[in-house]
């Protein structure tokens, strides 16, 4: 019964893993061509007046938002998308690990069942040998002999045979227990894998929704308004950077380690490549995909997500920044950039943008970690 149960479990696990590997199961990038949306109310002073709008049941229309308010709203939506991307990436990494563990457990189950079959064959051979000797156990045959030398030789063989039988039964019992344990572990890992697949699907849905909402807001703006919004964005970043430089006692001329320099070289070599959520290169990256691949290229594997990088890597003071260090941003640790020196980072900002250089203090810093 145990053999049938374990063999069935192994076949089920292997078939399920094969299904997971079928092409087409990977999530595609949610960044799709912007739908054609009729421009809404222009915000430039010299733009033509829109047709009057009224609220429902004669109530006045809501006041128009300023261009800076729209900019902040768009940034907030993209931030939520990036935060959900970290959730997606972590679930994906955990799912990969669980799939690997399930595969290993399935292989152990198959090997264990093969071992049990072999042990049972050996036990059967011992039983047949006893039957062919007249059904008498070796101990009884030994007592009946009248040859002293045969008695002594037989005593040694009986002792060895009894030990071999005990070892055989012990190994069979242990192998059966291991097989049962492997099956339980495989079921546990399968439940975790399914939970992470649910988390991935939920995060993907949220990412799609936030990016679509941000693109819809951007789609309402005229070209001139988009240019003005970029100017406002740069001014806000420059202001934050200037304040950070005044308040942060950075060490000038800090040197990178050999690996740090290699990581910086890799990351800056990706400048100009687009942000794509969940991407780890070589053609596109999200923020933590860039930093994790940069350090992997330098021979130092680090966690995949910015939140895990913040949680697991050693923390250092901002004042001790050196090239190659990772600066973690926002209270939820949802963004990361690599420090390259002189108050500058290289990072992959958000959907719709490309890997670029930026001021290290242009965003709210949570802390610094050193791989």
**Tens-place pLDDT, residues 95-128:** 888 778 778 777 777 777 777 777 677 766 665 6
Q: Please check the confidence at residue 18 and state whether its pLDDT lies above 50.
A: no
Which is nearest to 68 in space by CA: 237, 230, 229?
229
What is the tens place of the pLDDT at every residue in 234-292?
A: 999 999 999 999 887 787 778 899 999 999 999 999 999 999 999 999 999 999 999 99
Which is nearest to 215 in space by CA: 355, 341, 360, 35?
35
Query: Tell me, what's the pLDDT at 92?
Result: 84
Residue 139: CA count within 13 A, CB half-sphere: 2
Average pLDDT, the chain: 76
Query: Tell me, what's the pLDDT at 102?
Result: 79
Query: Tell me, what's the pLDDT at 138?
Result: 54
Per the CB < 8 A criterion, the answer to whether 359 and 238 are in contact is yes
Query: Tell me, what's the pLDDT at 64?
Result: 73
Which is nearest to 7 in space by CA: 103, 98, 102, 112?
112
Query: Tell me, what's the pLDDT at 165?
Result: 65
- Which domains are seen in the chain, by residue range? 2-12+66-219 (1.10.287), 224-369 (3.90.1720.10)
Residues 6+ apart with CB under 8 A from 309: 288, 291, 292, 302, 303, 326, 328, 333, 336, 369
Section 207-216 average pLDDT: 89
Alpha carbon 192 to its chain centroid, in Å, reads 14
Q: What phi and psi values does residue 220 have, to the nearest 5 degrees?
A: -80, -15
Buried b / exposed e across 264-278, counting CB within 10 Å, b at 16+? bbbbeebeebbbbbb
Kindly indicate the confidence band of residue 313, based on its pLDDT and cuts at 50, 70 and 90.
very high
Structure tokens at 305: 């997500």
pTM across the whole model: 0.63
Section 163-190 average pLDDT: 73
Longest dimension (CA), the chain: 123
What is the tens place of the pLDDT at every residue in 26-42?
A: 333 333 333 444 444 44
Section 78-93 average pLDDT: 86
Q: Please check the confidence at residue 190 and state whether its pLDDT lies above 90.
A: no
């Amino acid at each position: 019964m145990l053999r049938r149960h374990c063999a069935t479990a192994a076949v089920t696990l292997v078939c399920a893993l094969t299904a997971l590997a079928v092409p087409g199961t990977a999530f595609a990038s949610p960044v799709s061509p912007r739908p054609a949306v009729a421009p809404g109310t222009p915000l430039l002073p010299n733009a033509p007046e829109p047709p009057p709008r009224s609220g429902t049941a004669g109530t006045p229309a809501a006041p128009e938002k300023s261009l800076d308010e729209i900019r902040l709203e768009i940034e907030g939506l993209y931030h939520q998308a990036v935060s959900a991307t970290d959730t997606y990436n972590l679930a994906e990494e955990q799912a990969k690990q669980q799939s690997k563990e399930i595969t290993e457990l399935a292989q152990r189950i198959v090997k264990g069942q093969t071992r049990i079959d072999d042990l049972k064959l050996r036990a059967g051979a011992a039983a047949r040998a006893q039957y062919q000797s007249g059904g008498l156990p070796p101990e009884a045959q030994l007592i009946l002999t009248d040859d002293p030398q045969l008695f002594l030789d037989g005593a040694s063989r009986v002792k060895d045979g009894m030990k071999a039988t005990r070892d055989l039964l012990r190994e069979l019992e242990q192998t059966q227990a291991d097989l049962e344990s492997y099956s339980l572990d495989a079921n546990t890992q399968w439940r975790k894998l399914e939970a992470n697949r649910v988390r991935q699907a939920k995060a993907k849905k949220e990412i799609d929704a936030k990016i679509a909402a941000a693109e819809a807001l951007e789609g309402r703006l005229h070209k001139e308004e988009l240019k003005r919004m970029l100017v406002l964005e740069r001014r806000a970043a420059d202001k934050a950077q200037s304040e950070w430089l005044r308040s942060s006692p950075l060490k000038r001329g800090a040197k990178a380690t050999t690996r740090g320099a290699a990581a910086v070289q890799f990351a800056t070599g990706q400048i100009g490549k687009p942000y794509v959520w969940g991407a780890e290169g070589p053609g596109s990256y999200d923020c933590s995909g860039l930093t994790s691949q940069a350090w992997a290229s330098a021979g130092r594997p680090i966690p995949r997500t910015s939140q895990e990088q913040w949680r697991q890597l050693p923390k250092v003071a901002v004042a001790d920044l050196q090239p190659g260090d990772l600066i973690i941003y926002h209270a939820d640790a949802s963004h990361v950039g690599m420090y390259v020196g002189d108050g500058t980072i290289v990072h992959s900002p958000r959907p719709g943008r490309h890997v670029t250089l930026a001021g290290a203090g242009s965003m709210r810093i949570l802390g610094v970690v050193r791989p």
